[in-house]
Chains A and B, each alone.
Chain A
Amino acid sequence: KQEVTQIPAALSVPEGENLVLNCSFTDSAIYNLQWFRQDPGKGLTSLLLIQSSQREQTSGRLNASLDKSSGRSTLYIAASQPGDSATYLCAVSLSSGSARQLTFGSGTQLTVLP
């Protein structure tokens, strides 16, 4: 059974810092990996999608990397801003099975202090 772990569970940084969020998964036979952002009481906003054949994806100040063989992904946020404060969730889908459903980590709660 796929298990996804995110470390740290919570992180507080001053505005302007660069930071890295970590995600690890136990089954390396993944189809893709997605990073999401969730604001309190809201749904999930997709940030980046990395296919299993890719090593990284970039969008603005965000960069996500994937090392499938070691079961790890990182989300790098450059020049953090208070508006980046949210919970960040990592999710993977397996290459086996028909559904390609996502298995999520418990998230990293990020607070960027002004």
Chain B
Amino acid sequence: GAGVSQTPSNKVTEKGKYVELRCDPISGHTALYWYRQSLGQGPEFLIYFQGTGAADDSGLPNDRFFAVRPEGSVSTLKIQRTERGDSAVYLCASSRDRGSGQFFGPGTRLTVL
């Protein structure tokens, strides 16, 4: 595609609910990253995929967070038992390979009430 796309653009949910956030990377990009951005801060790394496998999930805050990329393209970030502290903008980025420049999607703004 022309760029990285993310859906939904906004998600409002209640505390304790389960949410899924989707990322569609640039076609042909093998590396995919998820970041989380809180208000007034720079994005923080969550997880990295090279192809289908999660090569580095060291940024995931706890085991309520999980992400998949089953076919090496689209990725889904899954958050179980959401908490108010999970409210943030979730950004996805892709790059041609792990050493190339990263291109970001518009983000999903998650609000947990």
Contact = CB atoms under 8 A, between A and B. Distances in A.
Asked whether A and B interact, the reply is: yes
Interface of A: 4, 31-32, 34, 36, 41-46, 49, 89, 91, 93, 97-107
Interface of B: 4, 31, 33, 35, 40-45, 48, 50, 55-56, 58-59, 91, 93, 98-99, 101-107, 109
16 contacts: A31-B99, A32-B99, A34-B101, A36-B104, A41-B109, A43-B91, A43-B104, A45-B104, A46-B101, A49-B101, A97-B56, A100-B48, A102-B33, A102-B93, A102-B102, A106-B41
A102 B45 contact: yes
A104 B91 contact: no
B42 A105 contact: yes
Task: Tell me if A's interface is mostly helix, strand, loop or mixed.
Answer: strand
Given A89-B42, A98-B55, A106-B42, A42 B102 contact: no
A105 B43 CA distance: 8
A44 B43 contact: yes
